[in-house]
Amino acid sequence: MNFTPSTTSEKMKLRLQKFMQQYVYPFEKEYIDYNKQNNPDGNWQQWTTHPKLKELQNLAKKEGLWNLFLPDPELGQGLSVLEYAPLAEEMGRIYNAAEIFNCNAPDTGNMEVLYHFGSESQKEEWLIPMLNGEFKSVFCMTEPQVASSDATNIETSIVEDGDSIVINGKKWWSTGLGHPEAKLAIVLGKTDTTADKHKQHSMVLVPLNTPGVEIKRMQNTFGVYDAPSGHGEIHFTNVRVPKKNLIVDFGAGFAIAQGRLGPGRIHHCMRCIGAAERALELAILRSGTRVAFGKPLAKLGGNSERFAKARIAIDQARLLTHYAAWKIDQVGVKNSMTEISAIKVVAPNVLQEVTDMAMQIHGGAGLSDDFPLINFFIQARALRLADGPDEVHLRMISRLEFKKFLS
Amino acid sequence: MNFTPSTTSEKMKLRLQKFMQQYVYPFEKEYIDYNKQNNPDGNWQQWTTHPKLKELQNLAKKEGLWNLFLPDPELGQGLSVLEYAPLAEEMGRIYNAAEIFNCNAPDTGNMEVLYHFGSESQKEEWLIPMLNGEFKSVFCMTEPQVASSDATNIETSIVEDGDSIVINGKKWWSTGLGHPEAKLAIVLGKTDTTADKHKQHSMVLVPLNTPGVEIKRMQNTFGVYDAPSGHGEIHFTNVRVPKKNLIVDFGAGFAIAQGRLGPGRIHHCMRCIGAAERALELAILRSGTRVAFGKPLAKLGGNSERFAKARIAIDQARLLTHYAAWKIDQVGVKNSMTEISAIKVVAPNVLQEVTDMAMQIHGGAGLSDDFPLINFFIQARALRLADGPDEVHLRMISRLEFKKFLS
Amino acid sequence: MNFTPSTTSEKMKLRLQKFMQQYVYPFEKEYIDYNKQNNPDGNWQQWTTHPKLKELQNLAKKEGLWNLFLPDPELGQGLSVLEYAPLAEEMGRIYNAAEIFNCNAPDTGNMEVLYHFGSESQKEEWLIPMLNGEFKSVFCMTEPQVASSDATNIETSIVEDGDSIVINGKKWWSTGLGHPEAKLAIVLGKTDTTADKHKQHSMVLVPLNTPGVEIKRMQNTFGVYDAPSGHGEIHFTNVRVPKKNLIVDFGAGFAIAQGRLGPGRIHHCMRCIGAAERALELAILRSGTRVAFGKPLAKLGGNSERFAKARIAIDQARLLTHYAAWKIDQVGVKNSMTEISAIKVVAPNVLQEVTDMAMQIHGGAGLSDDFPLINFFIQARALRLADGPDEVHLRMISRLEFKKFLS
Amino acid sequence: MNFTPSTTSEKMKLRLQKFMQQYVYPFEKEYIDYNKQNNPDGNWQQWTTHPKLKELQNLAKKEGLWNLFLPDPELGQGLSVLEYAPLAEEMGRIYNAAEIFNCNAPDTGNMEVLYHFGSESQKEEWLIPMLNGEFKSVFCMTEPQVASSDATNIETSIVEDGDSIVINGKKWWSTGLGHPEAKLAIVLGKTDTTADKHKQHSMVLVPLNTPGVEIKRMQNTFGVYDAPSGHGEIHFTNVRVPKKNLIVDFGAGFAIAQGRLGPGRIHHCMRCIGAAERALELAILRSGTRVAFGKPLAKLGGNSERFAKARIAIDQARLLTHYAAWKIDQVGVKNSMTEISAIKVVAPNVLQEVTDMAMQIHGGAGLSDDFPLINFFIQARALRLADGPDEVHLRMISRLEFKKFLS
């Protein structure tokens, strides 16, 4: 056992930190404010990205801080999930910074799907341009009518019709749907409801400009639209795509989705750790300068204990994230279900609690746009539902425990 | 000891419930949506109220469901704080419904100040029109530069100058500042920083159109501006008002502020209980209809225990609120500090936890405008800071405990 | 609504407090130490009561501080459950003090059963002597083989055989079984396993000296035997008692047991509140005198906040206990199930948490016999299982909530 | 980063597990029961060890499963702190099993003191026989009069007098003091109260048979004396030992104590992890066989979620323990203070919570000697105070955080 990060990872992290210090921290407030103020409501047709974003992306690409999530040494940077962890944490310290490095969800998960399961032509048509940052994508899984945390509930139909595939159904909470550059949806649906329950699903590539695709509305979380990416509701009405857009095969969708969510969940958790570190840092800094009852907040009541507990929670969450990442690297997603589910519960909850505490230290200002805490809070709160609610992950863990002891 | 509500309170509650059923529940979604969609950003100059609001207010006034918070039998409805409690709870079930009954903060607190401490002329000029719902008001206490939870930190100056009073200082988080009908600010500041620390403050009435008053900006919580009332930053630069605008006397401000916050805190807590009941109801209803893994959510994992714990927490919070209200009625705010601080900590935290749980049951939709949960959540989160952060109230309680035992 | 205690209750409380101050507090340490040191292990045949106990009991009887729990004005003191609440709290401040006033479990519950459901001859033979403190009793419900928190699991058989009733089965955790004066067991078993599941049980009076009754062993909690009362395992092998020992009728046992547990649970909770108050008081006193890092513990880290939170939790628990008591008085046990279950969860947990906190303030000494905290802790921990584990009460509450909304 | 345990550690663990399976699990109940039943009260002069213990110790020694904690390859097994971690966890699964392998506190810590700081003659006279298991030792730090969690409070005096050292003072909670083979006390006291506050202390070796040494009493935790080791109060009255019994030098005591507590704290935590795993295992097994309301407990209410949360908490605690162990190995105790304090807070609390949950699953039996849960619970509860209470460790962590950000 050895907790020293790999040299590759460590070196990359130093370069990333330097980039963040030089370009991203100074840009943070302007970036977050732009995204809210220039895209004030749900009219996604008018949403724009900050003009400087593309410039920073090009800079990151030039410096090799690009596609860090992808293990492939040619297409990505050849980092294992574990090696990528500290980098994702670093990005997570600033809300949405991952986008600058082409490392943001759901594009990363979508690229992974294409990388691991896509045909050669799918890779050429979709993966390569996405790796170049040429367009954005969405992943359409959750449905309004059913509790989609149980994927067997999914109702969208994906059926073969001659040389085509026909898609009908409604999806919502599709992240990235409002992005001006969004071009592709990866859609999960059912082809054969009579098959074994894990063989019913198919996954298909649907360009957003296909007839029958309709973006109904953007949805908000806590009133925030998270522009210019957004999360939205999308309807598919007799949408027809060529068969070559099918990923792997009919009936393979469930398995692909499971695999997709493994590293993706870890990436989310890594970013949560970074955000939690940042929130703690902000809280400590604030507590040293604000004075009440004759003392800095740091010395009042239980504040110092709260900081200590946050430190402990964050360090534990980081270790568990690294351990889950390592397990994925070593034995694959399928054999790391306890660890993936565990960290998927832990990391967002730690972020929510630490941010809540940091807000309390900041007073009213902590709840407002004056500080980045609300972004972290909403990120945490949403993530406790996204990619499987806490309860579903706890369920998974307990089932695996029962298997160990009650067979 | 007797837990039966008074007949007066009970009768009024039945009438209020009927009014809510008939007019307010059907209006809820439209009302909340209007306030957000028609007032999408911080440009308060363009904020408007829903056209139907005035109509409902008139109806409420006509039916005697008006100024229920005011104990005076002529000007209000003659209800004690305890008798008002179940009514405020009822209103709290819908976000912002209290406004329909002229029972919303900060107007209620401001009217109480004028009722208890105002001169005859102040009552005539300001209290009577406010009781008629003719304009809105703000209370200016919190300041951006200092931790205002310790009121002795306040820096705004209120000084005598001949026949005038001159005010200089900056305030923020002044609730109601953005309202189209906001007309009056009650400002807390310091007159004599050499006096005993609880005799330094003064409280003064400042019409918002006085020269030198400048609304700098609206502030948001979790990105939401809470229009058309809003919370804002306001600067006072050599603002001059006549001496008759002083409440009671120079040096009396601290004591008035303390008295003001007593029943006001209770009102907030009552509304929290109502909101928490509503959130629990929504969660249970949703859990009965959504199905995952072959069962309604109600039957999955720990959900049913979460409902039971919410029930327990709400019932305890209600009892403590009623007890604090009763104590204020019996022995006054000064002798009820433990109870007021206790419920001020408990009620918003219960609301936050119950709402968080209800959100989890609702999935993504629970975080969006599709349900009223986010309003309740932000209400709770903000209230854990407003009128004194949790930590300051815990500090107060422990100091009173120490006095009992360690003297 | 009115939170003033009744004059009767208040007067009785003052007398009780005086008695406690004069006789019980000075006796506390000696009493607790005697019970442990003179009865060091599980050999219940050698257990003795402190010689002074009987003397104090006679004194209490003489002063009318006797059988306070019984609502009957002739046999008891005519107090309602609500009026008794503050008295039980007062007794709860000292471990086992209730015994001095003939107000200890399980005798109180057993006397209530006889009072409400006993025949005239049963009352004469058993109730009257118990009210006089002439002997002790046990209640035999829990069984080793099955999860008895679901009373339908019970396996002990109680069958008619001519003029006799024959009992066969094993019970454990029968409180009071080791007492030198224990004479009577009230046994719950099943008569007809084909009847409706709530009509299968019978309850019967079994003198402990009946042939076939065998005390197998005393059981301990955390290694403590709780002598000289104790909790024990008892076997019934072809135990034969006359038919007149049947309470009410065959098949009535379940309903009687339910009724028995109502006020009894409240009594337990009341004593928990008193014990929690005491633990908090001890913690605050200790925190004022021990010094670390140059300050009294009271001023270190989060200690003061912990005291405030304990105050809040205790006050809420007391209000909920009083409310449940009031509801039982007003509408009976059957219509107060939410409240009874709620307080049965809350009070022992509050006591456990407050005591745990107080232990931490006391350092190692808090875990030892030097302070009464461990008794309170074990009382709380055991009570989270006795009379229904927390989980069963939460289950009850959620089922009642579902009935409100999901019908 | 690499989470694979070292081959050495892994191999040793397999051998240890085999030994545990073969000899210790079958012995567990008999061993625990003997220690309680044959040593029922505080009369330590009559305490005995189970006759089979020595036999098992000899067997363990023969198989090289002896002194596993000591990094020295000659005297111990040459394992790093990190390599020892999984072994201590394994032992921790059975209460007091560590003693079989000469790996129990406080002997381990005392041997480490002698190993790292002892003179050659001290090693020969004391260390070597202890490594052979020839006698037992105690560590005397905590004092009854002062809050000893702040070691600068310590009042025992250790002064030079010619060729002798004279010790005066009172100590309590000295673990192992009641052991029939206890022979040596390592005593921490103050020599020069005018020196820098971390240079005042000295540490000295005091044979328990030295005149002036008086064992006053054994202390219990939750009524349990933890025989035959016990924890006791010991007084030193003009106790005189030769100068060669001084460890390192006058004034070096504080630093030695700090160093001593590093790995020792980790050992405790490791054992907690093992105990928590065991408690979870027992809970799951019980939940599969007990039935209530028609279902195994495993399927009722929130039980399955509780198991999942226990799994998460244990896995996180293990990772943090391993990380702290690794850090000690790499950069020493002094540079690992955050990690040592963090795990010292986490591990006992996790054990307490998991055990509390497991007790709840076991019903009344879980609180009794029928299951090993109470031993684990008391172990956890005591450890939240021993070697520094939680609050002191949180204080340490927050001070280190402040140093990072507020300098």
Q: Among residues B203, B224, B251, which one ends one of the domains?
A: B251
The CATH number assigned to the domain holding C119 equals 1.10.540.10
- Interchain CB contact of C307 with B (< 8 Å): yes
Q: Are residues C344 and C233 part of one domain?
A: no
Q: Give me the residue from B288, B312, B395 closest to C406, CB to CB.
A: B288
The DSSP output letter for C103 is: -
Q: Are residues D289 and D263 part of one domain?
A: yes
Q: Are residues B226 and B260 part of one domain?
A: no
Which SS3 state, helix, strand or coil, does residue C249 take? coil
A interface mutation test: which of D316, D327, D331, D393 has the most A CBs within 10 A? Answer: D316
Q: How far apart are CA A170 and CA C309, in angstroms?
A: 48
The CATH number assigned to the domain holding C152 equals 2.40.110.10
Q: Are residues A393 and A305 part of one domain?
A: yes
Does A2 map to a domain?
A: no
Q: Give me the residue from B284, B304, B394 closest to C308, CB to CB.
A: B394
Q: How far apart are CA B282 and CA C338, in angstroms?
A: 19
Q: How far apart are CA A146 and CA A2, in angstroms?
A: 45
Q: Which of residues 212-241 of D touch C (CB under 8 A)?
A: 219-224, 231
Chain C contacts of A305, Cβ < 8 Å? 301-302
φ/ψ region of D51 (left if φ > 0, alpha if ψ in -120 to 50, else beta) reads alpha
- Interchain CB contact of D249 with A (< 8 Å): no
- DSSP letter string, D258-303: HHHHHHHHHHHHHHHHHHHHHHHHHHHHHHHH-EETTEEGGGSTTH
Structure tokens at D110: 């005392």
Find the radius of gyration of the CA atoms of chain A.
21
Does C2 map to a domain?
A: no
Q: Are A77 and A48 in contact (CB under 8 A)?
A: no
Does A245 map to a domain?
A: yes
Q: Are A377 and A359 in contact (CB under 8 A)?
A: yes
Nearest CA in chain B to D299: B301
A293 phi/psi in degrees, rounded to 5: 50, 35
What count of CB pairs under 8 Å joins B to D? 13
Q: How far apart are CA D353 and CA D283, in angstroms?
A: 12
Q: In chain B, what is the straight-line distance between the N-terminal and C-terminal CA atoms, in Å?
A: 31
- Interchain CB contact of C315 with B (< 8 Å): yes
- Interchain CB contact of B1 with C (< 8 Å): yes
The pLDDT of residue A209 is 98
Nearest CA in chain B to A175: B364
Q: Among residues C210, C232, C251, which one ends one of the domains?
A: C251
Structure tokens at C396: 């009850």
Burial grade of A45 (CB within 10 A; 0-12, 13-18, 19 or more): exposed
At residue D255, what is the residue type? A
Nearest CA in chain A to B33: A223
Q: Are residues A184 and A155 part of one domain?
A: yes
- Interchain CB contact of C399 with D (< 8 Å): no
Contact B377 A222 (CB under 8 A): yes
Does D203 map to a domain?
A: yes
Q: Which residues pair with B357 in a beta bridge?
A: none
Contact A391 B293 (CB under 8 A): no
In chain B, how many domains are there? 3
- Interchain CB contact of D303 with C (< 8 Å): yes
Closest CA of chain B from D98, distance in Å: 37
* Of residues A269, A263, A258, the one with CA closest to residue A329: A263
Q: Are residues A315 and A214 part of one domain?
A: no
Q: Give me the residue from C305, C342, C346 closest to B398, CB to CB.
A: C305
What count of CB pairs under 8 Å joins B to C? 143
Query: CA torsion D96→D98→D104→D109, rounded to 10°?
Result: -150
A26 CB contacts (<8 Å, ≥6 apart)?
none
Structure tokens at A377: 């809070």
Q: Are residues A209 and A327 part of one domain?
A: no
- Interchain CB contact of D304 with A (< 8 Å): yes
Q: Are residues C182 and C140 part of one domain?
A: yes
Query: What is the pLDDT tens value at each position of chain D, 407 positions in all?
Result: 999 999 999 999 999 999 999 999 999 999 999 998 899 889 999 999 999 999 999 999 999 999 999 999 999 999 999 999 999 999 999 999 999 999 999 999 999 999 999 999 999 999 999 999 999 999 999 999 999 889 999 999 999 999 999 999 999 999 999 999 999 999 999 999 999 999 999 999 999 999 999 999 999 999 889 999 999 999 999 999 999 999 999 999 999 998 877 888 999 999 999 999 999 999 999 999 999 999 999 999 999 999 999 999 999 999 999 999 999 999 999 999 999 999 999 999 999 999 999 999 999 999 999 999 999 999 999 999 999 999 999 999 999 999 999 87
The residue written with tokens 């003719």 in the block is B134
Q: How far apart are CA B202 and CA B247, in angstroms?
A: 8
Q: What is the pLDDT of residues A98-115, one digit of tens each?
A: 999 999 999 999 999 999
| pLDDT bracket for residue B407 (50, 70, 90) | confident
Does B264 map to a domain?
A: yes
At residue C267, what is the residue type? H
Q: Give me the residue from C5, C284, C323 closest to B406, CB to CB.
A: C284
Q: In chain D, what is the straight-line distance between the N-terminal and C-terminal CA atoms, in Å?
A: 31
* Of residues B256, B237, B238, B236, the one with CA closest to residue B246: B256
Nearest CA in chain C to D146: C290
Q: How far apart are CA A230 and CA A94, in angstroms?
A: 18
- DSSP letter string, D48-117: ---HHHHHHHHHHHHTT-SSTT---TTTS----HHHHHHHHHHHHTSTTGGGGGT--TTHHHHHHHHHHH
Q: Are A325 and A319 in contact (CB under 8 A)?
A: no
Which SS3 state, helix, strand or coil, does residue C97 take? helix
Burial grade of B331 (CB within 10 A; 0-12, 13-18, 19 or more): exposed
The residue written with tokens 């009230």 in the block is C186
Q: Are residues D361 and D300 part of one domain?
A: yes
Q: Among residues A250, A278, A297, which one ends one of the domains?
A: A250
The DSSP output letter for B23 is: I
At residue B141, what is the residue type? M
Q: How far apart are CA A384 and CA A375, in angstroms?
A: 14
- Interchain CB contact of B302 with D (< 8 Å): yes
- Going from the C-alpha of A72 to that of each of A14, A80, A106, B289, D172, the distances in angstroms are 21, 9, 18, 45, 62
Neighbouring chains to A with at least 3 Cβ pairs closer than 8 Å: B, C, D
Computed over every residue of chain A, the mean pLDDT equals 96
Closest CA of chain A from B403, distance in Å: 17
Q: Are C160 and C243 in contact (CB under 8 A)?
A: yes
Cα angle B258, B264, B267; round to 5: 155
* Of residues A257, A139, A141, A142, the one with CA closest to residue A198: A257
pTM over 0.95: yes
Neighbouring chains to B with at least 3 Cβ pairs closer than 8 Å: A, C, D
C335 CB contacts (<8 Å, ≥6 apart)?
C327
Closest CA of chain B from D310, distance in Å: 14
Q: How far apart are CA B52 and CA B211, in angstroms?
A: 33
Q: Which of residues 53-112 of C touch B (CB under 8 A)?
A: 82
Q: How far apart are CA A317 and CA A346, in angstroms?
A: 6
Domain encompassing residue A228:
136-250
Q: How far apart are CA B53 and CA D165, in angstroms?
A: 87
Residues of chain C below pLDDT 50: none
Q: Are residues C306 and C237 part of one domain?
A: no
Pairing mode, strands B201-207 and D157-161: unpaired
D interface mutation test: which of B293, B295, B305 has the most D CBs within 10 A? Answer: B305
Q: Are residues A281 and A178 part of one domain?
A: no
Does A1 map to a domain?
A: no
B interface mutation test: which of A368, A376, A394 has the most B CBs within 10 A? Answer: A368
The DSSP output letter for C221 is: B
C interface mutation test: which of D146, D155, D222, D234 has the most C CBs within 10 A? Answer: D222
Neighbouring chains to D with at least 3 Cβ pairs closer than 8 Å: A, B, C
In the predicted structure, residue A40 carries a pLDDT above the cut 90: no
Nearest CA in chain D to A80: D1
Does C1 map to a domain?
A: no
Q: Are residues B94 and B140 part of one domain?
A: no
Q: Are C314 and C130 in contact (CB under 8 A)?
A: no
Closest CA of chain C from D83, distance in Å: 31
Q: Which residues pair with D46 in a beta bridge?
A: none
- Prior bond of C228 cis (ω within 30°): yes
Q: How far apart are CA A346 and CA C5, in angstroms?
A: 47
The CATH number assigned to the domain holding C344 equals 1.20.140.10
Buried b / exposed e over B46-56, threshold 16 CB at 10 Å, is ebebbeebeeb
Contact B312 C346 (CB under 8 A): yes
- Interchain CB contact of C10 with B (< 8 Å): no
